[in-house]
Chains A and B, each alone.
Chain A
Amino acid sequence: QKEVEQDPGPLSVPEGAIVSLNCTYSNSAFQYFMWYRQYSRKGPELLMYTYSSGNKEDGRFTAQVDKSSKYISLFIRDSQPSDSATYLCAIDDYGGSQGNLIFGKGTKLSVKP
């Protein structure tokens, strides 16, 4: 079993839809969870960063961590065509010390106008 599993999609939604992206992970010791966005031919950029369980909101984006089920989610409200990108979940394997990130495969999202 891989340490982080993510459905690669692709996922296509109409503009304005609510998008739900998900990952599962295997090691219950993980504490630091991230979502990165990667546009085509670009490097990933950090979207959301969460420590332990709970929700974190930033504008149209909400990150959710459920440690009991080892499940992390990213919700995008009022999705826009500019949100079309690949979304990567990531877990910090160094206990938060800016180290080895374990990435999911990424989910490719397309938001249609």
Chain B
Amino acid sequence: ETGVTQSPTHLIKTRGQQVTLRCSSQSGHNTVSWYQQALGQGPQFIFQYYREEENGRGNFPPRFSGLQFPNYSSELNVNALELDDSALYLCASSSKRAGELFFGEGSRLTVL
């Protein structure tokens, strides 16, 4: 059974650019959640996708958007990057059981 995989692992962008981060969910999981973890902070919920539809969103502006594909993989897109977007972006997949999120290792984004 493969776990959650994310790509790229590291990337550097400049202010105003756009970025796409990718996530493959764990086998058998149909729900994908994205979290932002700034340095020294706990992860913050961005949004969740269930069967290709957004199923909940945290306090993030519309320039954070996502997609889920029929195979349950997912993308996180961030437009008009700001310096404060520098963080570890975590993808997590889950099945029906409450709260058991399985996280990938994250994509570390640096915005200069």
A residues apposed to B, CB below 8 Å: 4, 6, 8, 32, 34, 41-46, 49, 88, 90, 92-94, 96-106
B residues apposed to A, CB below 8 Å: 4, 31, 33, 35, 40-45, 48, 55-56, 58, 90, 92, 94-106
- A101, B58: Cα distance in complex, Å: 10
* Most chain B C-beta atoms within 10 Å of own C-beta, residue among A8, A42, A103: A103
10 closest A-B pairs (Cβ-Cβ)?
A: A103-B42, A43-B103, A96-B98, A92-B99, A98-B94, A100-B45, A43-B105, A103-B43, A105-B42, A44-B103
Which residue of chain A is the closest to B45 with respect to CB atoms? A100
Judge whether B101 and A98 touch: CB under 8 Å. Answer: yes
* Most chain B C-beta atoms within 10 Å of own C-beta, residue among A41, A88, A99: A99
Which residue of chain B is the closest to A105 with respect to CB atoms? B42
Judge whether A88 and B56 touch: CB under 8 Å. Answer: no
A to B CB contacts below 8 Å, 29 in the list: A8-B40, A34-B99, A41-B105, A43-B4, A43-B92, A43-B104, A43-B105, A44-B103, A45-B102, A45-B103, A46-B99, A46-B100, A88-B42, A92-B98, A96-B98, A96-B99, A98-B94, A98-B95, A98-B97, A98-B98, A99-B48, A99-B55, A100-B56, A101-B45, A102-B45, A103-B42, A104-B42, A105-B40, A106-B41
6 additional A-B residue pairs with CB within 8 Å, beyond A41-B105, A103-B44:
A45-B103, A99-B33, A102-B45, A103-B42, A104-B42, A105-B40
